[in-house]
């Protein structure tokens, strides 16, 4: 492989999935793994795994597979997980609290350095190993702690303002949980996690399934009535779509574990 420059976005989005699978494999004390097996664990197809990994360089051994530890290291390195990144969480409501308690952060080298909230009543409250500080300290904290990533968990109305302040303070990567579109300068990386949007997307496919089901199940007037609608809504390729979705779905995913 021509030394992986420019890793495709779709590939980048899958690397963390491979990483997680590899951690499990390593825990099981296996030294090597085939693309086939890794694909299985990651829920994708083997050719894709090989192509993805080839962007990182040729780290596999034909006839054998990939060295688990080495691959773990290479992926971690590409993802920038070999060092710690200080993060701040802005907005300590429902979601902010869940995030603050989420142990997956530290596990991957994301170190929470501060929890900020605009509500003076919350300031000072202890949460895990941090006490909540006031928004006004944002700039100070970011600069002092060299914050790399800002997590926005505020209500939608203030999200853009918070983003602006984060950028202003020097943060160049933002993870937005607020249910609104925010915009940032081109040099700032932005990702969003939107719970209600995920549900709505699911609702779309769910509705199709329901209609398809009704059609398959019954044969009364209902069927006739829905027929035209179903034709448009479900199309003919419903199940094919569904099957694909499982594999490739890389649109938006978020993850949290409930402790």
The residue ranges that bind DNA (CB under 7 A) are 1-2, 8-11, 33-36, 44-48, 50-51, 53-54, 58-66, 244, 247-248, 250
Question: Based on CB atoms, which residue is closest to a second copy, 58 or 200?
Answer: 200
Q: Does 80 bind a second copy (CB under 8 A)?
A: yes
CB of 210 to a second copy, least distance (A): 8
Taking each helix axis from N to C end, the angle separating 238-248 and 195-217, rounded to the nearest 10 degrees, works out to: 150
CB of 134 to DNA, least distance (A): 39
Q: Does 148 bind a second copy (CB under 8 A)?
A: yes
The one of a second copy, DNA, none whose footprint includes residue 35, by CB under 5 to 8 A per kind, is DNA
Half-sphere exposure (Cβ direction) of 233: Cα atoms closer than 13 Å: 18
> 212 to 251, contacts with a second copy by CB under 8 A?
213, 231-233, 235-237, 239-251
Mind giving me the DSSP string for 12-53? HHHHHHHHHHHHHHHHTT--EE-HHHHHHHHTS-HHHHHHHH
232 DSSP assignment: H
Question: Based on CB atoms, which residue is closest to DNA, 71 or 215?
Answer: 71
Which span (29-37, 132-140, 171-179, 217-225) binds a second copy, by CB under 8 A?
Answer: 171-179
Q: Does 73 bind a second copy (CB under 8 A)?
A: yes
> At 111, which helix (H) or strand (E)?
strand 110-117
Distance (Å, whole) CA 207 – CA 148: 41
Using alpha carbons, list the distances in angstroms from residue 220 to 206, 210, 225, 227, 238: 22, 16, 9, 11, 22
84-113 mask for a second copy (x: CB under 8 A)? -x-x---xxxxxxxxx-xxxxxxxx-x---
CB of 54 to DNA, least distance (A): 4
User: Which of 156, 169, 223, 226: binder of a second copy (CB under 8 A)?
Assistant: 156
Order of strands across the sheet with 32-33?
Answer: 32-33, 65-67, 60-61
């Amino acid at each position: 492989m021509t030394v992986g420059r420019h890793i495709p976005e779709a590939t980048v989005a899958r690397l963390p999935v491979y990483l997680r699978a590899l951690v499990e494999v390593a825990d099981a004390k296996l030294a090597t793994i085939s693309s086939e097996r890794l694909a299985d664990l990651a829920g994708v197809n083997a050719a894709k795994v090989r192509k993805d990994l080839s962007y990182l360089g040729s780290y596999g051994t034909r006839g054998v597979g990939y060295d688990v530890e080495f691959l773990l290291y290479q992926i971690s390195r590409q993802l920038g997980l070999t060092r710690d990144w200080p993060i701040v969480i802005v907005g300590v409501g429902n979601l902010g609290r869940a995030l603050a308690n989420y142990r997956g952060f530290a596990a991957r080298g994301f170190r929470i350095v501060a929890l900020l909230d605009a509500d003076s009543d919350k300031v000072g409250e202890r949460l895990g190993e941090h006490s909540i500080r006031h928004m006004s300290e944002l700039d100070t904290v970011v600069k002092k702690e060299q914050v790399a990533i800002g997590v926005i968990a505020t209500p939608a109305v203030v999200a853009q303002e918070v983003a602006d302040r984060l950028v202003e303070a020097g943060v160049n990567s933002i993870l937005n949980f607020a249910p609104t579109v925010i915009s940032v300068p081109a040099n700032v990386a932005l990702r969003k996690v939107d719970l209600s949007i995920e549900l709505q997307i699911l609702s779309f496919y769910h509705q199709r399934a329901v209609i398809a089901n009704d059609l398959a199940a019954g044969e009364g007037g209902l069927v006739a009535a829905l027929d035209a609608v179903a034709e448009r809504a479900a199309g003919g390729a419903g199940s094919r779509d569904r099957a694909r979705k499982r594999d490739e779905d890389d649109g938006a995913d978020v993850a949290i574990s409930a402790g």
